Structure 1
Amino acid sequence: MSESKKSAAKSPTATTSRTPTQRQATKRGEDGDAQRTATRQRNLQSLAKKLDAVAGKPEKPAPVQAGTRKQPARMPAQSIRKPGAESELDLAPRYMAPDYEGSGKLRGLRAIITGADSGIGRAVAVLFAREGADVAVLYLSEHDDAKLTCSKVEKEGTRSLAISGDVRDPSFCNKAVKKVVKTFGGVDILVNNAAFQLHCHRLEDLLDEHLQETLQTNIAGYIQMARAVLPYLEEGGSIINTGSETGIFGSPSLIDYSTTKGAIHAFTKALATQLLPRGIRVNCVAPGPVWTPLNPADKAADDVAQFGADSDMKRPAQPEELSPAYVFLASPITASYINGIVLPVMGGPHG
């Protein structure tokens, strides 16, 4: 190595060399910058406290109304027997959507809706009919509720068909679909909506019978109904499943129910991929709290009175606020390029 290179290697350059005095000055400058930042943050904190004192405590948010008519915010303290008849509720769920005007989005189509005697299913049946579809109302044993749903469908100017039975039974699913095809001449839309919900606060208290009731109704029933209807669905057909916010966020007292709703979301995506080459779309609506017989037939009366109060909108939805989402997904006019989605209708991002 040359002398010049040795000298350069041993001697620090002018740009990297600092005397003790220079290093102390740099540190004092850095300390000064940090202190000024800390002081600025404390001043902002002090200002925020003064503003809080002037403003006082924020008021409790009022229930949000964002539609064309004001919806009920306070639920009755009421508990009813399962399976839950809508006619027994002190506060009648709203399902007619009087401001919704049909425009033929489902004209000439034929739909099967499970759990259509009440709640979301009834609201969907009414709007499907208003859009021109014939509607088969599948239900368990709530005969009076189902009769009312059929009358509302027919008042909209289309045909109705009521079929009572249990979607847990594959033979019922097959017979029901065949009856619809025979009566209506075919089927174009399936809405899987039937559900069983019963709280259980500790997993070790979940009885086998309870677990099987939930699994067989909420997910096996959906699969069996889809399997039964597929031989009759043609290109342009649609399947819509009812999921839940509990399938997204979970619910500590509804472990089995949440599990089935998560499974419904996965079932939707898997089946959507499988059926796409056949031109059949599969989608899902994931509601937040909705005022239907499902929760009053599960919760204690005091809990029912608070139902939906902790949602983003500080109230539960009414069924008529959910039903347009089903119309949107069912119609080949509005959703021909929408497949495999889970559409949250929860009043906000947190349900």
Structure 2
Amino acid sequence: MADEKKLDTQAPKENYFQPDKSDDMSPKPLNENPDYQAAGKLKDKVAIITGADSGIGAAVAIAFAKEGAKLALVDIENHKDAAEVKQRVKELNGSVLWFTGDVGDDDFVKEVVDKTVAEYGGIDILVNNAAEQLSKESITDISVEQLHRTFRTNIFSMFYFAKAALPYFNEGGTIINSTSVTAYQGNPSLLDYSSTKGAIVSFTRSLAQNTEFLDKKLRVNAVAPGPIWTPLIPATTGTTDKEKFGASVPMKRAGEAYELAPAYVYLASSDSSYVTGQVLHVNGGTVING
């Protein structure tokens, strides 16, 4: 089994807003469902997953490893959480590349793609999941730096990865973009974040119809989570009460990251062979009609 390879392009401190750590949370977020039954749906498929150190990205990485995928995982800073995910993936799969850097940097994205292809020979799955948000009560409090940074991380990175990966996608590959319920409902204190998530929906639908991607039989879909208990929440909103955080949805609770992972497995596998340009809503019962 292949050893994990550390390919470290460390992002400078000023290039991101906040670290988010699972150990700082109570209760601790859950990235793995111990009752998950794998079926080899992604055996030997090569998957790039961004934002893989914690939260949704970590849960997807673990589920993909259980399904037999070869992984290239990307984070920006979170060393302890990343080490835990890395160790778990190695226990399950043993084949993982790890990249640390800024997905809003086109050169770094090209490095991730090039080194993934050099190691594995191609790409089957791209999960564009990395995101950041910073809650501000007034639009006047959103600096130009924050606005630019949020768009670079949340939506520009998806353009960069799709563009860089296109020549190396194996036929029948898939792209899965993480959007949000805020793309449909809005959020008054997350103006820039919600705007990027709306852009991701349009990007997903447009890319799914693009001739270059259709010619390679590539499918492009998205997942729109509702309130999910991840390190991003207390780190960026100040919300530390899990019950209060999830109280607004019909199920009256926040979701766990592992509850999203099967949606990504479905979209990454041949089970969804006739699904493209769509958004799956995993949000605790909120009706979106979008």
Q: Under a length normalisation based on structure 2, what TM-score does the superposition of the two structures give?
A: 0.89
Mapping 1:12-23, distance limit 5 Å = none
* 1:152 aligned residue: 88
8 Å Cα contact 2:40/2:67 also seen in 1: yes
Structure 1 pair 203–303 and aligned structure 2 pair: CA distance change class (3 A): farther
For residues 301 and 235 of structure 1, what CA distance do their matches in structure 2 show? Answer: 43
Residues 83-122 of structure 1 mapped to structure 2, 5 A cutoff: 83-122=19-58
Give distance in 2, aligned partners of 1:160 and 1:88.
26
Counterparts of residues 1-351 of structure 1 (less than 5 Å): 82-274=18-210, 275-301=213-239, 306-332=244-270, 334-350=271-287
- Structure 2 distance, partners of 1:96, 1:282, is 25
Quick one: distance in 1 between partners of 2:281 and 2:261? 13
Deviates more, 1:129-138 or 1:91-100: 91-100
Q: Report runs of 4+ in structure 1 exceeding 3 Å deviation.
A: 301-305
Task: Report the CA distance between 1:209 and its aligned residue.
Answer: 0.9
Counterparts of 1:296 and 1:84, CA distance in 2? 8
Aligned-residue offset at 1:318 = 0.2
Matched with 1:61 is none
Amino acid of the structure 2 residue aligned with 1:322: L
> Contact 1:133/1:158 (CA < 8 Å) preserved in 2?
no
* Cα distance in structure 2, aligned partners of 1:277 and 1:306: 47
> 2:10 corresponds to which residue?
none
One-letter amino acid of the structure 1 residue matched with residue 169 of structure 2: L
Contact 1:147/1:162 (8 A) holds in 2: no
In 2, the alpha carbon distance for the partners of 1:303 and 1:265 equals 29
Looking at structure 2, the residues matched to 300 and 279 of structure 1 have their Cα atoms a distance apart, in angstroms, of 43
CA RMSD of aligned residues (A): 1.5
CA deviation digits over 1:276-302, x for unaligned, max 9? Answer: 232000000000000111111112246
- What displacement does 1:305 show? 6.0
Amino acid at match of 1:306: K
Q: What is the distance in 2 between the residues matched to 1:300 and 1:330? A: 33
What secondary structure does 1:257 align onto? Answer: helix
**SS of corresponding position for 2:245:** coil
Unaligned stretches of 5+ residues in structure 2: 1-16
| 8 A Cα contact 1:120 1:319, kept in partner | yes
Q: Is the partner of 1:306 in helix, strand or coil? A: helix
Q: Aligned partners of 1:90 and 1:180: how far apart in 2? A: 36
TM-score by length of 1: 0.74
CA distance in structure 1 between the partners assigned to 2:250 and 2:83 by the alignment: 35
Q: Secondary structure at the match of 2:158?
A: helix
- Deviation of 1:205 after TM superposition, in Å, equals 2.2
Measure how far apart 1:87 and its partner are: 3.1
**Rounded Cα–Cα distance in structure 1 between residues aligned with 2:102 and 2:93:** 28
Deviation digits for residues 229-261 of structure 1 (CA, Å, limit 9, x no counterpart): 111102111100000000011111111111000
Structure with greater strand share of residues: 2
Q: Name which one, 1 or 2, has greater alpha-carbon Rg.
A: 1
Q: Which amino acid aligns with 1:182?
A: A
Note the C-alpha offset of 1:103.
0.5
Which amino acid is 2:272 matched to? A
